[in-house]
Structure 1
Amino acid sequence: MNWLLVVAGGMIGAPLRYLTDRAVQRRHATLFPWGTFLVNVVGCLVLGVLTGAVTAGAASSRTLLFLGTGLCGALTTYSTFSYETLRLAESGARFRAVANALGSVAAGLGAAFVGVAVAETLWQ
Protein backbone atom coordinates (compact mmCIF):
# COMPACT_ATOMS: atom_id res chain seq x y z
CA MET A 1 0.00 0.00 0.00
CA ASN A 2 3.02 2.30 0.06
CA TRP A 3 2.44 3.10 -3.60
CA LEU A 4 -0.88 4.73 -2.67
CA LEU A 5 0.99 7.22 -0.49
CA VAL A 6 3.25 8.08 -3.42
CA VAL A 7 0.27 8.45 -5.77
CA ALA A 8 -1.62 10.65 -3.28
CA GLY A 9 1.41 12.90 -2.81
CA GLY A 10 1.94 13.09 -6.55
CA MET A 11 -1.69 14.09 -7.07
CA ILE A 12 -0.99 17.14 -4.91
CA GLY A 13 2.52 17.91 -6.13
CA ALA A 14 1.91 17.87 -9.88
CA PRO A 15 -0.89 20.46 -9.98
CA LEU A 16 0.93 22.50 -7.32
CA ARG A 17 3.99 22.63 -9.60
CA TYR A 18 1.93 23.69 -12.60
CA LEU A 19 -0.04 26.35 -10.73
CA THR A 20 3.04 27.74 -8.99
CA ASP A 21 4.99 27.92 -12.25
CA ARG A 22 2.15 29.71 -14.03
CA ALA A 23 1.65 32.18 -11.16
CA VAL A 24 5.34 33.05 -11.00
CA GLN A 25 5.77 33.33 -14.76
CA ARG A 26 2.69 35.61 -15.00
CA ARG A 27 4.28 38.00 -12.50
CA HIS A 28 7.74 37.98 -14.05
CA ALA A 29 7.75 38.65 -17.79
CA THR A 30 11.27 37.36 -18.35
CA LEU A 31 13.01 34.71 -20.36
CA PHE A 32 14.42 33.14 -17.18
CA PRO A 33 12.32 30.20 -15.90
CA TRP A 34 11.69 31.49 -12.38
CA GLY A 35 8.70 29.21 -11.79
CA THR A 36 10.67 26.01 -12.36
CA PHE A 37 13.59 27.40 -10.37
CA LEU A 38 11.28 28.15 -7.43
CA VAL A 39 9.49 24.79 -7.31
CA ASN A 40 12.79 22.92 -7.55
CA VAL A 41 14.42 24.89 -4.72
CA VAL A 42 11.33 24.64 -2.51
CA GLY A 43 11.12 20.90 -3.20
CA CYS A 44 14.78 20.49 -2.17
CA LEU A 45 14.15 22.44 1.03
CA VAL A 46 11.08 20.36 1.93
CA LEU A 47 12.90 17.12 1.15
CA GLY A 48 15.82 18.23 3.33
CA VAL A 49 13.51 18.94 6.27
CA LEU A 50 11.72 15.61 5.77
CA THR A 51 14.96 13.67 5.56
CA GLY A 52 16.20 15.31 8.74
CA ALA A 53 12.89 14.65 10.47
CA VAL A 54 12.95 10.96 9.52
CA THR A 55 16.58 10.65 10.64
CA ALA A 56 15.69 12.25 13.98
CA GLY A 57 12.68 9.96 14.40
CA ALA A 58 10.21 12.84 14.20
CA ALA A 59 8.58 11.57 11.00
CA SER A 60 7.85 8.10 9.69
CA SER A 61 9.01 6.46 6.51
CA ARG A 62 5.38 6.60 5.36
CA THR A 63 5.45 10.39 5.71
CA LEU A 64 8.62 10.42 3.62
CA LEU A 65 6.86 8.33 0.95
CA PHE A 66 3.84 10.64 0.84
CA LEU A 67 5.56 14.02 1.09
CA GLY A 68 9.07 13.22 -0.13
CA THR A 69 8.63 10.74 -2.94
CA GLY A 70 5.05 11.67 -3.90
CA LEU A 71 4.62 15.40 -3.34
CA CYS A 72 8.24 16.54 -3.83
CA GLY A 73 8.79 14.07 -6.65
CA ALA A 74 5.87 15.56 -8.57
CA LEU A 75 6.53 19.14 -7.46
CA THR A 76 10.12 19.24 -8.66
CA THR A 77 11.11 18.69 -12.26
CA TYR A 78 14.50 17.86 -13.66
CA SER A 79 13.13 17.35 -17.15
CA THR A 80 11.54 20.80 -17.36
CA PHE A 81 14.68 22.36 -15.87
CA SER A 82 16.76 20.63 -18.56
CA TYR A 83 14.38 21.58 -21.35
CA GLU A 84 14.18 25.24 -20.28
CA THR A 85 17.96 25.46 -19.94
CA LEU A 86 18.38 24.01 -23.43
CA ARG A 87 15.80 26.43 -24.85
CA LEU A 88 17.64 29.38 -23.27
CA ALA A 89 20.91 28.25 -24.85
CA GLU A 90 19.31 27.65 -28.25
CA SER A 91 17.67 31.08 -28.25
CA GLY A 92 21.03 32.77 -27.71
CA ALA A 93 20.54 33.46 -24.00
CA ARG A 94 23.62 31.47 -23.08
CA PHE A 95 24.41 33.46 -19.95
CA ARG A 96 20.89 32.81 -18.65
CA ALA A 97 21.22 29.12 -19.54
CA VAL A 98 24.45 28.82 -17.55
CA ALA A 99 22.98 30.88 -14.70
CA ASN A 100 19.93 28.62 -14.64
CA ALA A 101 22.00 25.43 -14.62
CA LEU A 102 24.54 26.52 -12.01
CA GLY A 103 22.06 28.51 -9.95
CA SER A 104 19.52 25.68 -9.83
CA VAL A 105 22.08 23.11 -8.72
CA ALA A 106 23.67 25.43 -6.15
CA ALA A 107 20.34 26.68 -4.78
CA GLY A 108 18.85 23.17 -4.69
CA LEU A 109 21.80 21.71 -2.80
CA GLY A 110 21.88 24.72 -0.50
CA ALA A 111 18.16 24.40 0.21
CA ALA A 112 18.53 20.69 0.99
CA PHE A 113 21.38 21.38 3.42
CA VAL A 114 19.38 24.18 5.06
CA GLY A 115 16.38 21.85 5.36
CA VAL A 116 18.43 19.16 7.09
CA ALA A 117 19.96 21.78 9.41
CA VAL A 118 16.50 23.11 10.29
CA ALA A 119 15.28 19.59 11.03
CA GLU A 120 18.33 18.87 13.21
CA THR A 121 17.72 22.08 15.14
CA LEU A 122 14.03 21.31 15.64
CA TRP A 123 14.30 17.63 16.53
CA GLN A 124 17.68 17.16 18.13
Structure 2
Amino acid sequence: MTRPPEFPVDPDVDLHVPADRGELAAHPAAVLGVIAAGGVLGALARAGLQAAFPHPPTGFPWATFGVNVVGSFLIGVLMAVLTARPAGPLVRPFLGVGVLGGFTTFSTYAVDAQRALAAGAPGTALAYLAATLVGALLAAWAGDAVAGRLLARSAGAAR
Protein backbone atom coordinates (compact mmCIF):
# COMPACT_ATOMS: atom_id res chain seq x y z
CA MET A 1 0.00 0.00 0.00
CA THR A 2 1.49 3.34 -1.02
CA ARG A 3 0.97 6.36 1.16
CA PRO A 4 0.32 9.85 -0.19
CA PRO A 5 3.27 12.22 0.03
CA GLU A 6 3.70 13.98 3.34
CA PHE A 7 3.53 17.76 3.43
CA PRO A 8 4.75 20.05 6.20
CA VAL A 9 1.86 20.96 8.47
CA ASP A 10 0.61 24.53 8.67
CA PRO A 11 -2.78 24.79 10.38
CA ASP A 12 -3.65 27.88 8.32
CA VAL A 13 -3.08 26.12 5.00
CA ASP A 14 -5.73 23.99 3.30
CA LEU A 15 -3.64 21.30 1.63
CA HIS A 16 -6.50 20.60 -0.78
CA VAL A 17 -6.01 24.06 -2.34
CA PRO A 18 -3.02 24.14 -4.71
CA ALA A 19 -2.38 27.86 -4.08
CA ASP A 20 -2.21 27.21 -0.34
CA ARG A 21 0.26 24.35 -0.83
CA GLY A 22 2.52 26.77 -2.71
CA GLU A 23 3.04 28.64 0.55
CA LEU A 24 4.81 25.60 1.95
CA ALA A 25 7.48 25.83 -0.76
CA ALA A 26 8.66 29.23 0.47
CA HIS A 27 11.86 29.14 2.47
CA PRO A 28 11.08 29.05 6.22
CA ALA A 29 13.43 31.97 6.92
CA ALA A 30 11.60 34.11 4.35
CA VAL A 31 8.23 33.22 5.86
CA LEU A 32 9.46 34.03 9.37
CA GLY A 33 11.01 37.26 8.11
CA VAL A 34 7.81 38.54 6.52
CA ILE A 35 5.76 37.50 9.55
CA ALA A 36 8.15 39.39 11.83
CA ALA A 37 8.16 42.49 9.62
CA GLY A 38 4.39 42.46 9.35
CA GLY A 39 4.04 41.84 13.08
CA VAL A 40 6.09 44.92 13.86
CA LEU A 41 3.88 47.07 11.63
CA GLY A 42 0.66 45.66 13.07
CA ALA A 43 1.83 45.95 16.68
CA LEU A 44 2.96 49.55 16.16
CA ALA A 45 -0.42 50.46 14.68
CA ARG A 46 -2.22 48.81 17.61
CA ALA A 47 0.04 50.45 20.20
CA GLY A 48 -0.51 53.84 18.57
CA LEU A 49 -4.28 53.47 18.72
CA GLN A 50 -4.18 52.28 22.31
CA ALA A 51 -1.97 55.24 23.29
CA ALA A 52 -4.30 57.65 21.50
CA PHE A 53 -7.39 56.25 23.23
CA PRO A 54 -6.43 55.24 26.79
CA HIS A 55 -8.99 54.01 29.31
CA PRO A 56 -9.12 53.76 33.09
CA PRO A 57 -8.94 50.22 34.55
CA THR A 58 -12.69 50.26 35.27
CA GLY A 59 -13.61 51.68 31.85
CA PHE A 60 -14.48 49.77 28.72
CA PRO A 61 -11.29 49.32 26.64
CA TRP A 62 -12.69 50.74 23.41
CA ALA A 63 -9.34 50.94 21.63
CA THR A 64 -8.54 47.26 22.11
CA PHE A 65 -12.12 46.29 21.33
CA GLY A 66 -12.01 48.35 18.12
CA VAL A 67 -8.63 46.96 17.12
CA ASN A 68 -9.80 43.38 17.55
CA VAL A 69 -13.09 43.89 15.70
CA VAL A 70 -11.55 45.88 12.83
CA GLY A 71 -8.62 43.45 12.63
CA SER A 72 -11.01 40.49 12.49
CA PHE A 73 -13.01 42.19 9.72
CA LEU A 74 -9.80 42.75 7.76
CA ILE A 75 -8.77 39.12 8.27
CA GLY A 76 -12.11 38.09 6.76
CA VAL A 77 -11.56 40.46 3.82
CA LEU A 78 -8.02 39.18 3.31
CA MET A 79 -9.10 35.55 3.28
CA ALA A 80 -11.86 36.28 0.74
CA VAL A 81 -9.44 38.18 -1.50
CA LEU A 82 -6.76 35.50 -1.31
CA THR A 83 -9.33 32.79 -2.00
CA ALA A 84 -10.59 34.61 -5.10
CA ARG A 85 -7.21 35.89 -6.26
CA PRO A 86 -4.33 33.76 -5.01
CA ALA A 87 -1.14 35.73 -4.41
CA GLY A 88 2.51 34.91 -3.84
CA PRO A 89 3.51 32.55 -1.05
CA LEU A 90 4.57 35.35 1.31
CA VAL A 91 1.47 37.57 1.05
CA ARG A 92 -0.76 35.70 3.51
CA PRO A 93 2.00 35.22 6.10
CA PHE A 94 2.94 38.93 5.85
CA LEU A 95 -0.55 40.42 5.90
CA GLY A 96 -2.58 37.78 7.75
CA VAL A 97 -0.20 36.38 10.31
CA GLY A 98 2.17 39.34 10.53
CA VAL A 99 0.33 42.64 10.11
CA LEU A 100 -3.15 41.58 11.22
CA GLY A 101 -1.84 39.08 13.77
CA GLY A 102 0.29 41.83 15.30
CA PHE A 103 -2.55 44.33 15.09
CA THR A 104 -5.16 42.16 16.81
CA THR A 105 -4.34 41.17 20.35
CA PHE A 106 -5.56 38.39 22.57
CA SER A 107 -3.01 39.19 25.26
CA THR A 108 -4.15 42.79 25.75
CA TYR A 109 -7.77 41.58 25.62
CA ALA A 110 -7.03 39.24 28.54
CA VAL A 111 -5.03 41.86 30.47
CA ASP A 112 -7.76 44.49 30.02
CA ALA A 113 -10.36 42.07 31.40
CA GLN A 114 -8.11 41.09 34.32
CA ARG A 115 -7.46 44.76 35.17
CA ALA A 116 -11.17 45.54 35.13
CA LEU A 117 -11.81 42.61 37.48
CA ALA A 118 -8.99 43.67 39.79
CA ALA A 119 -10.29 47.25 39.81
CA GLY A 120 -13.73 46.05 40.93
CA ALA A 121 -15.57 46.26 37.61
CA PRO A 122 -16.64 42.65 36.89
CA GLY A 123 -19.59 43.79 34.78
CA THR A 124 -17.31 45.76 32.50
CA ALA A 125 -14.88 42.84 32.27
CA LEU A 126 -17.60 40.34 31.36
CA ALA A 127 -19.26 42.71 28.89
CA TYR A 128 -15.89 43.36 27.26
CA LEU A 129 -15.03 39.65 27.06
CA ALA A 130 -18.37 38.76 25.50
CA ALA A 131 -18.57 41.78 23.18
CA THR A 132 -15.07 41.18 21.84
CA LEU A 133 -15.70 37.50 21.20
CA VAL A 134 -19.02 38.06 19.45
CA GLY A 135 -17.87 41.22 17.69
CA ALA A 136 -14.67 39.67 16.34
CA LEU A 137 -16.42 36.53 15.08
CA LEU A 138 -19.17 38.54 13.40
CA ALA A 139 -16.63 40.96 11.93
CA ALA A 140 -14.54 38.14 10.41
CA TRP A 141 -17.70 36.62 8.91
CA ALA A 142 -18.85 40.02 7.61
CA GLY A 143 -15.44 40.82 6.12
CA ASP A 144 -15.40 37.53 4.26
CA ALA A 145 -19.03 37.86 3.12
CA VAL A 146 -18.78 41.49 1.99
CA ALA A 147 -15.46 41.03 0.21
CA GLY A 148 -16.66 37.79 -1.38
CA ARG A 149 -19.78 39.50 -2.75
CA LEU A 150 -17.83 42.49 -4.03
CA LEU A 151 -15.27 40.24 -5.70
CA ALA A 152 -17.99 38.12 -7.28
CA ARG A 153 -19.77 41.24 -8.51
CA SER A 154 -16.57 42.69 -10.00
CA ALA A 155 -15.76 39.36 -11.65
CA GLY A 156 -19.26 39.27 -13.13
CA ALA A 157 -18.96 42.86 -14.38
CA ALA A 158 -15.61 42.08 -16.00
CA ARG A 159 -17.16 39.33 -18.14
1: CA distance, partners of 2:35 / 2:123: 37
Q: Is residue 2:16 matched to residue 1:13?
A: no
TM-score (norm 1): 0.89
Q: Does the 8 A contact of 1:54 with 1:60 survive in 2?
A: no
2: CA distance, partners of 1:63 / 1:38: 24
Per-residue deviation, 1:42: 1.1
1: CA distance, partners of 2:150 / 2:41: 26
Q: How does 1:1-124 map onto structure 2 within 5 Å?
A: 1-25=30-54, 31-57=59-85, 59-124=87-152
Runs of 4+ in 1 over 3 A off after TM superposition: 58-61
- What's the RMSD between the two structures over aligned residues? 1.6
- When residues 60 and 112 of structure 1 are mapped into structure 2, their CA distance, relative to the original with a 3 A threshold, is farther
Equivalent position amino acid for 2:82 in 1: V
| Higher relative contact order (Cα pairs below 8 Å, separated by 6+ residues) | 1
| Runs of at least 5 residues in structure 1 that lack an aligned partner in the other structure | none
Equivalent position amino acid for 1:24 in 2: F
Q: Point out the structure with the larger helix share.
A: 1
- When residues 58 and 24 of structure 1 are mapped into structure 2, their CA distance, relative to the original with a 3 A threshold, is farther
Identity %: 39
